[in-house]
Amino acid sequence: MEFWKKGKLQIVAGISNNNSTFLEGSIINNVEKEKAMSVSMLLVDITLRHRRFGHYHYVGINEAITWKLVTGLILESSKLQDPICEPCLARKCM
């Protein structure tokens, strides 16, 4: 699969035999990478990390940060976690 934007190839993705997708290609240069990372205006807090990690539990995320298990994983906001995560609650009720 190819994804184009304004006549320029953006992403090439493939599908493996077990129906999982993967990206094909090379890493973009540092200038483009910096532009892509500066697009988000959201401050990264524990709730945003929880959502981006597929609703991984808060304790596990905090441990990964404390024990430096993942490089570059920081919280830019000390806002407390949301007390109710609707997708997590919906999954528990299934």
Residue 84 above 80 pLDDT?
yes
Q: What is the pLDDT of residue 76?
A: 84
Distance (Å, whole) CA 23 – CA 12: 6
Q: Which residues of 55-85 are buried (b: 16+ CB within 10 A; e: fewer)?
A: eeebeebeeeeeeeeeeeeeeeeeeeeeeeb
Amino acid at 25: G
* Domain total of the chain: 2
Strand partners, 3: 11
User: Average pLDDT of the chain?
Assistant: 76
Virtual torsion, Cα 65, 84, 40, 5, nearest 10 deg: 120
Q: What values do phi and psi take at 46, rounded to 5?
A: -65, -35
Q: What is the DSSP letter of 84?
A: -
Q: Is the overall model pTM greater than 0.85, yes or no?
A: no
Q: What is the pLDDT of residue 60?
A: 92
Read off the pLDDT of residues 3-49 as tens digits, 9 standing for 90 and up: 777 888 777 777 777 777 766 765 555 445 445 444 555 678 888 88
27: domain range?
2-37
Do 33 and 58 share a domain, yes or no? no
Do 89 and 57 share a domain, yes or no? yes
